[in-house]
Amino acid sequence: MTSPLYGRDLLSVNDLSPHEIQLVLDVARDFKRRYYAGERQLPLLQGKTIALIFEKPSTRTRVSMEVAALQLAATPLSFNRNDLQLGRGEPVKDTARVLSRYVDAIAARVYRHDTLVELAAYSTVPVINLLSDLEHPLQALADIMTIMEFKDVRRAKIAYLGDARNNVAHSLLLAVAKTGGHIVLASPPQLAPRQDILEAARTTASVTGATIELTEDPYEAARGADVVYTDVWVSMGEEEKAEEKKRMLKGYQVNEKLMELTANDSIFMHCLPAHRGEEVTEEVLEGSRSVVWQQAENRLHVQKAVLALILSG
């Protein structure tokens, strides 16, 4: 049977239906099980080549994508922006058309989401978002997979605290909406999710039965939460706003006092990298509730699933 994702772009969580998200997670779980059974090499993408372009630094995404490709017998080619003529001003649309003649997929981490949209418009091969200013869909898929390993995602209260207007928060919100879960985002009003993302999530929620709440009160979000999630206060590319954002978000730190309000068996999640002493304390990050390493590992399994479903017919 042909994969419903075959040949498609993945720029946003919203590019996937609830059923397709379920499919990605089913395949990811199967790959994870096989990985632990010693079956790491699955030559499903033999002969395929994937270009990975990075306008910003990356540890998890870059390494897990390269390893995912290699474990599926594909060849990843990673470039920083300045390795390419893109860094000297060659237009995105020209880069897209040229790379499409050589590789089977283009994945990119970019500053502006529009760069991905342009890449996708001119590319004749699938384009995958490795993080933009708007979304981080591969992260959200791994996040949902991780939540499902500990909780019933449709029953759990998921509290996201901090900058609810960033890429990670947006994709998590859309992914929870798609899976019919319950998410409470706590942030100062200026850092609430972007209106278009919120509307998209609410539209999805009206179909899936998801519950979406926004609050300014971190304690209200934390009370009884099964999952507590946070991300950095200052995202890559926002360095000039660093002091202002740290001031705005000071009250949203995830620390032991806040975790005491959560469910007895709550888990703590963070996409990483973490800034200890800012959005989360060392104690919580290293504490028994923290599942951040498992969460990071799941990037590999989810991305193998995404690559296999998009690239093998």
Residues identified as active-site: 109, 136, 139, 231, 271, 299
**Residues making contact with ligand NVA (CB under 6 A):** 131, 166-168, 231-232, 235-236, 271
The option from ligand NVA, ligand CP, none interacting with 132 (CB < 5 to 8 A, set by class) reads: none
Question: Can you spell out the DSSP letters for 207-275?
Answer: HH--EEEEES-HHHHHTT-SEEEE--SS-TT-GGGHHHHHHHHGGG-B-HHHHTTS-TT-EEEE-S---
Closest contact distance (angstroms) between CB of 272 and ligand CP is 5
Which residues make beta-bridge pairs with 166? Answer: none
Cβ contact 141:21 at 8 Å: yes
The option from ligand CP, ligand NVA, none interacting with 235 (CB < 5 to 8 A, set by class) reads: ligand NVA
Dihedral (C-alpha) 175, 181, 186, 188: value to the nearest 10 degrees?
50
- The token duo for 226 is 């099964």
Per-residue burial over 80-110, b = 16 or more CB atoms within 10 Å of its CB, e = otherwise: bbeeeebeeeeebeebbeebbeebbbbbbbb
Spatial separation of the C-alpha atoms in residues 105 and 228, rounded to whole Å: 34
Query: Is residue 77 helix, strand or coil?
Result: strand
Query: Is residue 142 helix, strand or coil?
Result: helix
Whichever of 77 and 263 has its CB closer to ligand CP, that residue is 77
Under rule CB under 6 A, which residues in 46-65 are in contact with ligand CP? Answer: 58-61
The option from ligand NVA, ligand CP, none interacting with 232 (CB < 5 to 8 A, set by class) reads: ligand NVA
Spatial separation of the C-alpha atoms in residues 131 and 61, rounded to whole Å: 9
Spatial separation of the C-alpha atoms in residues 142 and 263, rounded to whole Å: 22
Task: For residue 95, state whether it binds ligand CP (rule: CB under 6 A).
Answer: no
Under rule CB under 6 A, which residues in 110-149 are in contact with ligand CP? Answer: 131, 139
Beta carbons within 10 angstroms of residue 2's beta carbon? 8
**307 half-sphere exposure, CB direction, 13 A CA radius:** 35
Task: For residue 67, state whether it binds ligand CP (rule: CB under 6 A).
Answer: no
Whichever of 64 and 71 has its CB closer to ligand CP, that residue is 64
- The token duo for 37 is 């059974």
The option from ligand CP, ligand NVA, none interacting with 44 (CB < 5 to 8 A, set by class) reads: none
From 199-207, 243-251, 266-274, 304-312, span contacting ligand CP (CB under 6 A): 266-274
Closest contact distance (angstroms) between CB of 107 and ligand CP is 12
Whichever of 24 and 191 has its CB closer to ligand NVA, that residue is 191
Whichever of 100 and 171 has its CB closer to ligand NVA, that residue is 171
Whichever of 61 and 166 has its CB closer to ligand CP, that residue is 61
Whichever of 125 and 175 has its CB closer to ligand NVA, that residue is 175
Which residues make beta-bridge pairs with 80? Answer: 54
Closest contact distance (angstroms) between CB of 216 and ligand CP is 26
Spatial separation of the C-alpha atoms in residues 71 and 298, rounded to whole Å: 14
Closest contact distance (angstroms) between CB of 236 and ligand NVA is 4
Closest contact distance (angstroms) between CB of 166 and ligand CP is 12
Closest contact distance (angstroms) between CB of 59 and ligand CP is 4
Selected binder of ligand CP within 53, 271, 280, 311 (CB under 6 A): 271
Task: For residue 230, state whether it binds ligand CP (rule: CB under 6 A).
Answer: no
Query: Is residue 7 helix, strand or coil?
Result: coil
Chain contacts with ligand CP (rule: CB under 6 A): 58-61, 131, 139, 271-273
